Chain A
Amino acid sequence: MAKKIYETPMLDELENGPWPSFISGFKRLRDDHPDERINTVVSGLLGQLEHSYETRKGYWKGGTVSVFGYGGGIIPRFSEVAEAFPESKEFHTIRVQPPAGNHYTTDMLNQLADSWEKYGSGLVTFHGQTGNIMFIGTDTENTQHFFDDINEYGWDLGGAGPCVRTAMSCIGGARCEQSCANEHGIHRHLVNEFVDDVHRPALPYKFKFKVSGCPNDCQNAIERSDFAVIGTWRDEMKIDQDEVKAFVEKKGRDYVLDNVTSRCPTNCMKLNDDNTLTVDNHECVRCMHCLNVMNKALSPGDDKGVSILIGGKRTLKIGDLMGTVVVPFKKLDTAEDYEELVEMAGDIIDFFAENALEHERTGEMIERIGLVNFLEGVGIDVDPNMISSPRQCSYVRMDGWDEEAEKWFARKAEQAAG
């Protein structure tokens, strides 16, 4: 069967300009690839996409496709205009979990390319916004073959639907001086504890883990995940005064005053007359600004750990929410520390599974029931770091005050005793 070539005058416009063109890539697959299956499928895709551009509408609908033994991980796509463009009538996306930190060897990428060449359209993205490798475009039968193939050499599907989703972590310790945590270890400990919940969607809605090694939060964890783990430290930041002096010498005192000390959100830094820097570490909120500007001179301290924020999400349905601090600081040094972390995640997922309404995210559930009910449900004590300010309105019943105050003092005494 000679492949049909659809006219694509609108898409052709996207071959102009200096940025690499995905359309040119599609055409190479259509015209130059030795496999006729790939030529035709991409030809149909180009036809349908041009049709979308002309009519300003999408023409994919969902459905049910999965692989044997799993309930999720595939985004099924069936064409609504298959009569006009039959070649790409099934065009499912396969979500595959990347390695923690998104590292690859060229050999492994080539091996994945070989597998995808056998069973797919030849289009792939590293990575989708949800963190998965997206193998874009195959039919129902080849979905299974492709999965069987790559599953044999170490790759597993990601989450799709109401389940624990593919996690994400920053490059962190692999190449970043700001890293305060083993992002890699945290990422894999968490998500791999819940493989069953990844593959068999049975939660009220999605649940995402994201890990950033420091408060710069390169993974956008606070806003984009239900369970955000952010590296931080609680002792004094390290100051290399010789490097401070060198920086001041190079940039001038005014630059340092204007761009470092006066930008500190808590005004806890002072540039001294001798061009050294003093930091009141007790006031520092670990915002990272000064460390970013003077990254050779300033570094995180040694007493590292993580903060955990719960409940971030995007617009649907009540509007965007940032995660809320639920654990201000937790050490993550020993196997036991990691066990506690994973246990806490399990408790939160269980509470979410039991208490969230259908299609309600963790953050929305907390908004509905109140943070205190959530904390009591998962067994975490209140802490003033969880709020930006205390209650403003007096309309609340507080006849348990004495007991609650007692609890606070008891906890303080316990902490003091170590």
Chain B
Amino acid sequence: MALADMRSPIESGCPDGFQYMHPTMRRNFGLWKYHEQPRGGVMCHVAHSGDKVWTVKAGTQRILDLFTLRKLTEIGDKYGEGHIHFTLRSNIEYFVTEESKVQPLIDALEGAGFIVGGTANSVAMISHTQGWLHCDIPGTDASGVVKSMMDELIDDFKNCNMPNRVHITTSCCQINCGGQGDIAINVQHTKPPKINHDLVGNVCERPTVVARCPVAAIRPAMVNGKPSLEIDEKKCICCGACFPPCPPMQINHPEHSKLAIWVGGNHSNARSKPTFQRLVAAGVPNNPPRWPEATAIVKQILQAYKDGAKDWERINDWIERIGWPRFFEVTGLPFTKYHIDNWRGSRNSLNASTHIRF
């Protein structure tokens, strides 16, 4: 196409959401009074005006094919009121203003294979990233890991049986697009990148790659008479940060790229300040198509949490109360030298007291 034929974009930015919002929600914007949770996956919000809106929330496969998307909109037209909201964890929410519409909507969703749940103290939909399906640097898949785990956690998604809500996240490389979670299942590489020296000179901007390394383990070098890069393997922490700017520094490996499991990340300010997740298990095999080893550890942690936590304690609150030694005791996970942090600020994570539980 000649440039002259090209259409200039309309730089409209972020669209106004009010035009798509349910009219009852628009009318009562900022004027809600309280809500109730009649059952898993359903909320009833009551406005100061007396208006009510019932939300029915359902989990989907997140990567939607158009048949599924159209099925979801068809359900919204027939059993909902034509307005839809997607949550941060890619659940779909329908809104109805009559209680009598709730059960038929649930039946329609469940009849079509969607899973109603994910509210209150449930195990929410696992948030996931791109993985082998469409990222350029992944060590594992994302949608497949989540599908396998949700198959096993489905009852905890539907029912609200946990002490408080549980947010699980996954990340398919150590950039960790998945973010903080009460439980996070993330790729953890265990060997330095393998460099294809024939390609580095042509493909990679070497100073950029050198600058990208968090521990200054990369230096420019001539290899076989060609400009390339060299890694000090004793320094390398196998983070994979050099791989995106320089694909010939292959970090992903079918055996050595493993999974690690982290717990206690919590974004909310409720009770304690927001917290980062902490390492609890590593060396977990990256085992497609169903990753059973990772799921088993997640279930072990969830069971211990369910048994031990008090109402309203998130995983971080629970561990804060019982202490880390007891966490390892009740989950049966091994405590190793890798659990002791040596990154910047790590001294703050050491016990400088005689506060010890016996």
A residues apposed to B, CB below 8 Å: 10-11, 13-14, 16-23, 25-26, 28-29, 32-33, 45, 49, 52-53, 55-62, 67-70, 75, 77, 91, 93, 97-110, 113, 116-117, 122-130, 136-137, 144, 147-148, 151-152, 154-157, 166-168, 170-171, 173-177, 179, 182, 184, 187-188, 191-192, 195-196, 198-199, 215-224, 230, 258-259, 263, 265, 285-289, 292-293, 295-296, 299, 314-320, 322, 357-359
Contacts and interface: CB of A to CB of B under 8 A. Distances in A.
A182 B254 CA distance: 48
A19 B116 CA distance: 11
* Closest A-B pairs by Cβ, 3 of them: A17-B151, A25-B65, A99-B17
A218 B87 CA distance: 10
B219 interface: no
Interface in B1-45: 3, 6-22, 25-26, 29-36, 45
Interface string B173-195: 01111111000000000000000
A49 B269 contact: no
Contact of A125 (B62, B72, B289): B62
B122 interface: no
B331 interface: no
A26 B312 CA distance: 39
B268 interface: yes
A263 B212 CA distance: 43
Contacts of B140: 56
25 contacts: A10-B288, A11-B289, A21-B147, A29-B67, A33-B67, A56-B140, A58-B252, A69-B8, A100-B15, A103-B22, A104-B85, A105-B83, A110-B73, A117-B66, A168-B88, A173-B30, A175-B25, A216-B270, A263-B312, A295-B35, A296-B33, A316-B241, A317-B241, A320-B180, A322-B274
Contacts of B270: 215-216, 287-289, 292
A125 B247 contact: no
Contact of B45 (A109, A170, A175): A175
Contact of A192 (B14, B19, B30): B14
Contacts of A10: 288-289
Given A184-B17, A215-B268, A126 B86 contact: yes
Contacts of B77: 106
A103 B88 contact: no
Contacts, number: 365
Given A156-B10, A316-B175, A177 B35 contact: yes
A137 B130 CA distance: 12
B160 interface: no
B30 A103 contact: no
B63 interface: yes
Given A21-B61, A58-B252, A265 B272 contact: yes
B102 interface: no
B135 interface: yes
Contacts of A170: 88
B64 A126 contact: yes
A223 B274 contact: yes
Contact of A191 (B13, B129, B247): B13
A22 B85 contact: no
B55 A123 contact: no
A116 B55 CA distance: 28
A19 B83 contact: no
Nearest to B74: A106
Q: Which of A10, A61, A174 has the most CB of B within 10 A?
A: A174
B247 A61 contact: yes
B300 interface: no
A116 B269 contact: no
Contact of A359 (B12, B60, B212): B212
Contact of B175 (A60, A187, A199, A315): A315
Given A188-B14, A224-B180, A315-B175, 8 more contacts: A14-B289, A19-B115, A107-B82, A110-B70, A125-B64, A217-B274, A221-B267, A265-B272
A316 B211 CA distance: 12
Contacts of A52: 132, 141
B59 A19 contact: yes
A53 B148 CA distance: 14
Nearest to B276: A320
Contact of B269 (A130, A152, A215, A259): A215
A199 B11 contact: yes
Contacts of B306: none
Nearest to B12: A156
A59 B8 CA distance: 33
Contacts of B279: none
Contacts of B33: 177, 296, 299
Interface string B270-288: 1110101000000000101
B181 to A, nearest CB: 10
A3 to B, nearest CB: 16
